[in-house]
Amino acid sequence: MGMRIEKNHDENFQKLDEVLAQYKDQQGMLIRILQKAQEIFGHLPDEVQSYIAEKTDIPISTVNGVVSFYSFFSQEPQGKYTVGVCLGTACYVKGAQEVLEEIKEELGLDVGETTLDHMFTLKATRCIGACGLAPVITINDDVHGRLSPSDIPSILHQYMKNQKEPVVK
């Protein structure tokens, strides 16, 4: 098993080298490089940030500053499913906080955390533009609206159930 992880590790850095070769001479491409790196690795650990800084001659402090500033970058591994709970005004007024509390209890997580099995990451979001369906959660690209806390267990269970097949990478 260790060999396979190591092999993927090397393959991932080879893919990153291809991305760097494509973009590194273009002005202002750091965000694009970081986006591609996150697609490859799933997140941006220090090792990957240092590698990008070294290969692009951009100071590590600048690379880390960009990663820290933009919420779509993550330095920690993310779950297969990102559960976003909208806490915008309409959702909040219609009970989003209670929905969030139910999700936290069901998954044993706090906002910003990922389950140990890397199935779910929990995020609190601002308005996602589905105010007519308030309160709303997103799970990756799926939108679930007009929720009450009692809806949460069955929704999460649908995603857990889909995980039963072996994941082939």
How does pLDDT run across 15-53, given as a tens digit for each residue?
999 999 999 888 889 999 999 999 999 899 999 999 999
> Beta 137-139 vs 81-86: how paired, if at all?
antiparallel
| pLDDT tens sequence across 91-125 | 999 999 999 999 999 999 999 999 999 999 999 99
Question: pTM here?
Answer: 0.70
Tokens representing 13?
């850095």
d(CA 37, CA 40): 5
d(CA 55, CA 93): 48
pLDDT value at residue 3: 40
| pLDDT tens sequence across 125-150 | 999 999 999 999 999 999 999 999 99
Q: Is 123 helix (H, G, I), strand (E, B) or coil?
A: strand
Q: Which of 4-8, 13-17, 75-79, 111-115 has the lowest mean pLDDT?
A: 4-8
- CA–chain centroid gap for 117, Å, is 14
Whether the Cβ atoms of residue 111 and residue 123 lie closer than 8 Å to each other? yes
